[in-house]
Structure 1
């Protein structure tokens, strides 16, 4: 049986920033487009999400997370998936 006392413990510090996120408790549909959404509707949703991100105290941590984990969808840290494409966490 493995000795569990040798494990590094919980890594909550990696996720603590989420508790302070401006989007916490908001409908996630605001940040992730439904299949087939295009044009003005998508642009309006993205802009509304970005307004939330603009006042978020953990925006950069959120963006770093999205870049590190290669988030393929949604607005993270104020950027859409298209805007994040080609970026890396080191480029911030």
Structure 2
């Protein structure tokens, strides 16, 4: 019987080509208490990295499929993914 599962390495291979590989994850995830302009600047810095990334589509798809609630993935912020999922903004 032939297996229909893919080797785990194949499923994650896109990460090897990610522009963010080896960078400080603090660029992509909100530190406690970050708000306003500081948050916008950090998110824009993350999005700039994602714009030049050859695997941003795969990254964004992974974030959506796995329900990543935090961070910038594939150039999309937490708020943007929340809207895509139809989840109301937290108060």
1:32 alignment partner, SS class: coil
| Structure 2 counterpart of 1:53 | 50
Stretches of structure 2 lacking an aligned partner (at least 5 in a row) = 86-91
Bigger radius of gyration among the two: 1
CA distance in 2, matches of 1:10, 1:31: 28
User: 1:9 offset after TM fit, Å?
Assistant: 7.1
Between Structure 1 and Structure 2, how many residues are aligned? Answer: 82
Q: What runs of 5+ residues in structure 1 fail to find an aligned partner?
A: 1-5
Give TM-score, length-normalised by structure 2: 0.84
Question: In 2, distance between residues paired with 1:39 and 1:33?
Answer: 11
Any idea what the Cα deviations from partners look like across 1:1-36, whole Å, max 9, x if unmatched?
Answer: xxxxx8x57321110000000000000000001011
The answer to whether 1:25 aligns with 2:58 is no
TM-score by length of 1: 0.83
Stretches of 4+ moved more than 3 A in 1?
none
Name which of structure 1's ranges 79-88 and 30-39 shifts more when overlaid on structure 2: 79-88
Q: Provide the residue aligned with 1:73 in structure 2.
A: 70
